[in-house]
Amino acid sequence: MSKTVVLGLELIDRQLLDSEDRRCGNVDDLALEGGPGEKLEVIALFSGPGVWRSRAGLIGRFAAWIGGGSVVRIPWEEVAEVSAHVKLRKRAAELGLGRGDDRLRPFIEKIPGADR
């Protein structure tokens, strides 16, 4: 994907959707490449509770500990589209995403209207 984006507004905290439109996390941080005077490019997205410890101080460290501390790195080449969400080219399982949803899915499916 080749497009100019405003990083703070168009990527951070956006919902990740896999190739099957399954919600599979949020964009928690970015890997950027480029030096002084060079074009700055996003080379990867990071998602997972392990990222929170660097973003939210003491509360973030506690949340990362509760959440297991994992971090998933998603190469920028796997991003298909950036809009109200970030659409990925592969399924969540292929990228290591969505495990938290999988643990809760049996309980969530019992809630009326949860499949909307």
* Structure confidence by residue, pLDDT tens digits, 25-83: 889 889 889 888 888 888 999 988 777 677 767 776 776 677 666 788 999 999 999 99
Compute the average pLDDT of residues 88-108.
Answer: 79
Higher local confidence (pLDDT), 107 or 72: 72
* Structure confidence by residue, pLDDT tens digits, 11-27: 888 999 999 888 888 89
pLDDT, residue 80, reads 95
Predicted model pTM: 0.74
Determine the 3-state secondary structure of 40 from DSSP.
Answer: coil
Cα 116 to Cα 104: distance, rounded to the nearest angstrom: 16
pLDDT, residue 43, reads 92
For the chain, where are the alpha helices, taking DSSP H only? 7-10, 49-55, 57-67, 92-95, 99-108
